[in-house]
Structure 1
Amino acid sequence: MSEVTRIPTDLVQGATGHAGVGASTLRPDGVLKVTGEFAYSSDLWHEDMLWGHTLRSPHAHAEIVSLDISEALAQAGVHAVLTYDDLPSDVKHYGLECRDTPALADGVVRYHGEPVALVAADHPETARRAAHKIRVEYRELPLVTDEATATAPDAPVLHPHREDGHAAHVPHPNILHRQPIVRGDVASAAARADVVVTGDYEFGMQDQAFLGPESGLAVPAEDGGVDLYVATQWLHSDLRQIAPVLGLPEDKVRMTLSGVGGAFGGREDLSMQIHACLLALRTGRPVKMVYDRYESFFGHVHRHPARLHYEHGATKDGRLTHIKCRIVLDGGAYASSTPAVVGNAASLSAGPYVVDDVELEAVGLYTNNPPCGAMRGFGAVQACFAYEAQMDKLAAAVGMDPVEFRRLNAMSQGAVMPTGQRVDSPAPVAELLRRVKAMPMPPERQWESAGGAADVRALPGGLSNTTHGEGVVRGVGYAVGIKNVGFSEGFDDYSTARVRLEVLNGEAVATVHTAMAEVGQGGVTVLAQIARTELGVQQVTLIPADTRVGSAGSTSASRQTYVTGGAVKHTCEAVRERVLELGRRTQGTYHPAWATAELLLEGGKVVTDGGEVLADLAELLADGEPVDIELEFRHRPTEAFDVRTGQGNGHVQYAFAAHRAVVEVDTELGLVKVVELACAQDVGKAINPLSVVGQIQGGSTQGLGVAVMEEILVDPATAKVRNPSFTDYLIPTILDTPPIPVDVLELADPHAPYGLRGAGEAPTLSSTPAVVAAIRAATGLDLTRVPVRPEALTGTRGD
């Protein structure tokens, strides 16, 4: 285990030294974004472009009886109106994991807001008015809204003709996926337990709430193809799904990443991509589509709401004996990434604890609720909320401090997961808990000034001035979580990088080209830092991401620094070797050290590990061709979980984070103020420490949001979304976000480039249960649902 490094959170300097790996390099797009000068995809413009608009279903489940577009087509300024019957290819469906989503409603709508028709017009308002003139007659169908209605004997089967069929191990066609995890002998272990606690938990539907709604520009090309400029998370996955529906080969659908205003999983699925391309190809004109905030809530997937039942057993001295759980995830109308989310939820449902005997299960449903898919934490978030509540219950039952109870049962390197996979890199769970508990506590009654007057901004309710401290109670809560890194279960997870090294104006410079989607995670600094470190150059140019280079996979699963960073490192190493060959030829003699030494490039010089200068890089390349190499990089392979037992080496790497939340609660009004949300996390190697801390603080804030405010409300009677706006869907603002001190450990994973560990998702897991645990500590209430609403704290009924 390598040395533990504590990274301070007040990193504000720019590039240090050669701005390579380990430097806190400032983002090149940072100032542009905060000043409003950055060009997002919604800013795209073409002089002769049309505007596209989508007509969406007002019902959650209905048959389309008739559809009349004549009045819309007759409106001045309208250039095209398209429906399902106008799709140009025999392939009319798409999907991330199974092709079950129609590009336009295929005679049936399955959720509120499903796309039914498209309009292209010369002005966005004209397109909207024309869409309202499309006459659609619907016949409403019975709703499937939860597990009971999905599996009832008379339940309508939502996808009877799904192209890939239904797996034999799934008990009903409306159950999209089921993953059990069975290991050991739970019955015998339960008999040894001195204490058994159970709990039923509920996790609400969360929105990614990215600030830049879906948008893009499709431009028809002279070769019959189309160029699409779009905000997305995964260019090549989009391409794989788009081209068949357009009836085009992939080389005629050229995609370029445009400015992305956040993602968090919500852009892994298609939104307007196919629609804009269809309209552009039909009209022969560029077509721009931009969702407003209302439409965005219908235009992308959300976090799966979940119901979770847990049973834990422990001996009187605090050792876990067994775990049983069942997790039901509502996938909504279409599959998206639900099968993978189910696999994650099941395989990580025991948490970062040592327990030999488990019976775990997760299922994903098809319903008529809004489609759900990827969101930061990807199934592990819902499980962590429940198992951490259970750990607090167990600690209380055996009379132990909740942190010490967790530390007693914490896994470490060498532990075996419930899936049978051995954790073969550092797993400092106990150390993270120790560190976060040891961090200084915020002062008591922090709202009081030196003169005793109350600063209401620091109180629950804030500037609403509901209290001056009367009825305010403090609580402290802890939680820790485990998250996989990278794509799992046998997915061929790789990335591609092209690196070009040449001399310009006497200086060696590097150009890096990948298809990595920069969605705000900071890859624009990381890839350049790696190239500087590996090639010893100062000037590195990143070419905008597009499909002219091989796939980089998705910007999700905390994988881009590992996989695309690994691809850049791998390709730079090949470039270095090519330069070394040039050095041999230039010198005219062969020196064995050139072939065996670890090559380092510093300040434009090719040197051996002993420091001897072999040749000046500029001299080597000035008279020859640039060195230009494109290579793929794969992490070590994974395997699918057994469909009956869940055994298998399903994950690449694990990440761990622990939180301590300090809250103050106005017990009379049910208002909560999160005073501090401290975090300790192991990141393996901080490629950019400043960016790492930002990722941890951002993930922690999203976890806080789902703990106390964020939820998409779906009417159980109609399956319609009730709050599709930032007026009614609340997200934390700067006034809600507390100080988030961060203690970063760097315990190298020997299997990963630079020893790094994906960092972006883990803090989203443990922040939610830590906040809720703190609220429980303040109120004494058994809070089993998130978000925690004021009525849950006061006993009043909400709307």
Structure 2
Amino acid sequence: MTDTAYTAGTAGTAYTTPSGVGESARRPDATLKVTGEFAYASDLWIDGMAWGATLRSPHPSAWIRSIDPGPALKIAGVHAVLTHEDVPGEKFYGLDLKDQPVLAVGQVRYQGEPVALVAADHPETARRAAAAIVVEYEVREPVTDPRRATEIVRRQPVRAGDTFEAEVVVTGEYEVGMQDQAFLGPEAGLAVPAEDGGVDLFVATQWLHVDRDQLAPCLGLPPEKVRLTLSGVGGAFGAREDLSMQVHACMLALRLGRPVKMSYGREESFFGHVHRHPARMRYEHGATRDGRLVYVKADILLDGGAYCSSSPAVVGNAASLGVGPYEVPNVDVVATGVYTNNPPCGAMRGFGAVQACYAYESQMDRLAEACGLSPVEIRVRNAVTQGSRLITGQLIDSPAPLADMLRDLEAMPLPGGPPDGDLRALPGGVSQTTHGESVRRGVGYGVGIKNICFSEGFDDYSTARVRVELVNGEPHVTVHTAAAEVGQGLVTVQAQIARTELGIPDVTVATADTSVGSAGSSSASRQSYVTGGAVRAACEAVRARFGGLPAREALERYGPIEETREYRHRPTYPMDPVTGQGDSHTQLALCVHRAVVDVDVELGLVKVVELAAVQDVGRVLNPQALEGQIHGGSAQGLGLALMEEIQVRDGVVANPSFTDYLIPTILDMPPMQLKILENPDPAAPYGLRGAGEPPTLSSTPAVAAAVRAATGLRLTRVPIRPEDIALS
């Protein structure tokens, strides 16, 4: 249940086109997904296809002394076994640094690293054959403690000012566990060899063109012979930015000369994609007696695991946003990402900013206590606003009404207590044993700031092609981009923009593929901004060619009209490697949360009674989809606070299943109160502000703060486990 209020800021254009911008347009995939008829990548099928399977390392660190494919090749129905020696092109790939092997070359660096591939007539035959391959390993002692790591991915300081003494000083050490994206649909795709010697890959991904640009060199093919088409994606949250089965399926298809499908099971999926970086953080906050921040020192250590992935960008976010949306004249922040033999870590919703947010918000609560102020008041006194500067020196040049958002949040009514005698409303539900006598209630607050779009000089843009023609005598619009619909509702938003700009209700959004220019990744809350901007620009170009005529009349006179446009946001710049100064971000978004929890202090059980949130989104494009984004982000933040963690022991994953890796269900998610503000960003299309990630930041520290308030315990690590409460 949601109680939502909308508050407009600066007046904007009123759009009245049916199902246009500002309305809760119906999603074209909604009915299919609800009825179970939607075709995900794992449902792909073509006659005559073979099945691929992967042999993965059981060791987090080892030399490979030999690989014997003989036993696998003897199994009936097996057509090929491939190792790194069969990679037709470059043997390494990577998002930021080409350090990850297509198949292990001489050694393995994490448990689950791909070692060999099998193609067979049946998926079970392929898996059985993969298990039959004999690999001789010489096991090494893995490096699993990031504090002992000697290989650094990136070290980024942020320094300003020279005053590091204050009347009130609070310090703390904090830890964030490894979180999984836990998307609905495991990795899957279908590779089909083409007559021109190339390959067509139908795949669930977040980033079609960067997949292609990594694939082509490994396959020894020019980019134009590697064609990708988006298949049904069951969620992503960052885990589909990196390659998984893409190169493997294409290699097998090209070797066999027939289509090959690969689809991971749930356990393999845990090994087949990156996770959220675990973090260890030390913070020191200094303030005046009345709670005004004087300085912040922070040391943020991020475990990147075995390969680089997007760790450099994660480190940059953690550093630049490392003290939160607060005015601090003196800072000494250092964020470091390191290599270990743990599972590779990379993008996950809010990356880098999530880890830092948990630490700096925990510190703000400690500072409030030390200064005798409420958690809201300490944040209000230090809140940024338009005209403030980040610790990197970047000017906040659009609305940032953080103090007002906090006051709005504080004014929201609190929920009542649980109904007398209703055990279902208590922590643990009907299975709990204390019958409520040891239940304590707590309230906590959290604030988060997240960068929107890619940062630090990345050439961030999107491309859109818009075609208008007469179909059965009526104007029809086709929008074609390479932007990945991963469940966030992007297809719906593209159609809404076309309807609004062209005034034509009949719109089709073509399947995303690489036959149109790049749209970048469906990450960083950027697609509504950049792809929305590209669609609007292409529509404007089409409309200009109408020559002032109504659409039908223009099309009758001129025939079909098609325009392609790129949209780039304002430039960003790399952070200075010594001082961290620079305008590294495009746009910034704020969200604040209040959590109310009931905690059984004897059993260590927690029930989140309510979450309330206030978020400024600049401009609402689709109210219902927006609420869903805030709910989803809040749920993932709640999961990180209380239950979600990949348990890694000496480099080995102990819980690669949803039986043991717990995520919030509908029974764990509480009712939410939302207040959505619209203070347009003048530099963004429609004034919008990316909205998908900020709720993930602030919900985690809010829930943790509420548990601390209920228990009186410091609780410096998330997720908070029952034993952290009951045994303390």
Q: Does the TM-score normalized on the shorter chain lie above 0.5?
A: yes
Is contact 1:459–1:467 with CA below 8 Å preserved after alignment? no
Counterpart AA for 1:70: G
Post-superposition Cα deviations, 1:430-449, rounded to whole Å, max 9, x if no partner, equal 111111111111112x2x2x
SS in 1 for 2:525: coil
- Residue 120 of structure 1 deviates from its aligned partner by 0.2
Give the CA RMSD over aligned residues: 1.3
Aligned residue among 386, 406, 412 for 2:359: 386
Q: What is residue 180 of structure 1 aligned with on the other side?
A: 157
Change (3 A) 1:692 1:7: farther
Aligned residue among 619, 622, 626 for 1:688: 622
Q: What is residue 754 of structure 1 aligned with on the other side?
A: 686
Instruction: Verify: 1:483 aligned to 2:417, yes or no.
Output: no
- Residue 73 of structure 1 deviates from its aligned partner by 1.0
Q: What is residue 111 of structure 2 aligned with on the other side?
A: 112
Instruction: Verify: 1:92 aligned to 2:91, yes or no.
Output: yes
Counterpart AA for 1:119: V
Instruction: Verify: 1:83 aligned to 2:75, yes or no.
Output: no
Instruction: Verify: 1:69 aligned to 2:69, yes or no.
Output: yes
Post-superposition Cα deviations, 1:194-243, rounded to whole Å, max 9, x if no partner, equal 10000000000000000100000000111111100000000001000001
How far apart in 1 are the matches of 2:68 and 2:28? 50
Instruction: Verify: 1:719 aligned to 2:651, yes or no.
Output: yes
How far apart in 2 are the matches of 1:147 and 1:203? 13
How far apart in 2 are the matches of 1:271 and 1:457? 42
User: Structure 2, unaligned stretches of length 5 or more?
Assistant: 9-14
How far apart in 2 are the matches of 1:487 and 1:331? 19
Q: Percent sequence identity over matched residues? A: 67
How far apart in 1 are the matches of 2:86 and 2:204? 26
- Residue 453 of structure 1 deviates from its aligned partner by 2.7
Counterpart AA for 1:112: Q
Change (3 A) 1:5 1:211: closer
Instruction: Verify: 1:286 aligned to 2:245, yes or no.
Output: no
Q: What is residue 659 of structure 1 aligned with on the other side?
A: 593
How far apart in 1 are the matches of 2:377 and 2:487? 37
SS in 2 for 1:46: coil
How far apart in 1 are the matches of 2:52 and 2:16? 46
How far apart in 2 are the matches of 1:284 and 1:401? 68
- Residue 16 of structure 1 deviates from its aligned partner by 8.1
How far apart in 2 are the matches of 1:504 and 1:64? 61
Q: What is residue 540 of structure 2 aligned with on the other side?
A: 573
Instruction: Verify: 1:793 aligned to 2:725, yes or no.
Output: yes
Q: What is residue 413 of structure 2 aligned with on the other side?
A: 440
Q: What is residue 11 of structure 2 aligned with on the other side?
A: none
Post-superposition Cα deviations, 1:73-129, rounded to whole Å, max 9, x if no partner, equal 12110011000111111x110000010000000111000000000000000110011
Q: What is residue 503 of structure 2 aligned with on the other side?
A: 536
SS in 2 for 1:572: helix
Is contact 1:680–1:742 with CA below 8 Å preserved after alignment? yes
How far apart in 2 are the matches of 1:24 and 1:349? 35
Is contact 1:460–1:467 with CA below 8 Å preserved after alignment? no
How far apart in 1 are the matches of 2:46 and 2:443? 55
Aligned residue among 461, 478, 483 for 2:428: 461
Q: What is residue 24 of structure 1 aligned with on the other side?
A: 24
SS in 1 for 2:672: coil
**TM-score calculated relative to the size of structure 2:** 0.98
Is contact 2:17–2:499 with CA below 8 Å preserved after alignment? no
Is contact 1:7–1:689 with CA below 8 Å preserved after alignment? no
Post-superposition Cα deviations, 1:35-69, rounded to whole Å, max 9, x if no partner, equal 10100000000110000000000000000001100
Greater Rg by CA:
1
Q: What is residue 424 of structure 1 aligned with on the other side?
A: 397
Q: What is residue 379 of structure 2 aligned with on the other side?
A: 406
SS in 1 for 2:6: coil
Is contact 2:146–2:302 with CA below 8 Å preserved after alignment? no
Q: What is residue 12 of structure 2 aligned with on the other side?
A: none
- Residue 467 of structure 1 deviates from its aligned partner by 3.7
SS in 1 for 2:599: strand
Q: What is residue 157 of structure 1 aligned with on the other side?
A: none
Instruction: Verify: 1:634 aligned to 2:607, yes or no.
Output: no
Aligned residue among 347, 350, 354 for 1:374: 347
- Residue 133 of structure 1 deviates from its aligned partner by 1.0
How far apart in 2 are the matches of 1:396 and 1:619? 69
SS in 1 for 2:55: strand
- Residue 7 of structure 1 deviates from its aligned partner by 6.3
How far apart in 2 are the matches of 1:432 and 1:116? 51
How far apart in 2 are the matches of 1:413 and 1:248? 49
How far apart in 2 are the matches of 1:475 and 1:5? 25
- Residue 468 of structure 1 deviates from its aligned partner by 2.5
Q: What is residue 522 of structure 1 aligned with on the other side?
A: 489
- Deviation beyond 6 Å, 4+ runs, structure 1: none
SS in 2 for 1:579: coil
Is contact 1:16–1:25 with CA below 8 Å preserved after alignment? no
Matched positions, count: 719
Counterpart AA for 1:713: Q
User: Structure 1, unaligned stretches of length 5 or more?
Assistant: 9-14, 152-173, 584-614
Post-superposition Cα deviations, 1:150-169, rounded to whole Å, max 9, x if no partner, equal 13xxxxxxxxxxxxxxxxxx
How far apart in 1 are the matches of 2:664 and 2:429? 13
Q: What is residue 769 of structure 1 aligned with on the other side?
A: 701
Instruction: Verify: 1:679 aligned to 2:613, yes or no.
Output: yes
SS in 2 for 1:6: strand
How far apart in 1 are the matches of 2:457 and 2:481? 23
Instruction: Verify: 1:645 aligned to 2:613, yes or no.
Output: no
Instruction: Verify: 1:212 aligned to 2:185, yes or no.
Output: yes
Post-superposition Cα deviations, 1:299-356, rounded to whole Å, max 9, x if no partner, equal 0000000000000001011100000001000000000000000000000001000011
Counterpart AA for 1:648: G
How far apart in 1 are the matches of 2:112 and 2:660? 18
Is contact 1:16–1:24 with CA below 8 Å preserved after alignment? no
Q: What is residue 41 of structure 1 aligned with on the other side?
A: 41
How far apart in 2 are the matches of 1:691 and 1:225? 38
What does 1:217-616 align with in structure 2 at a 5 Å threshold? 217-444=190-417, 446=418, 448=419, 452-454=420-422, 456-580=423-547, 583=548, 615-616=549-550
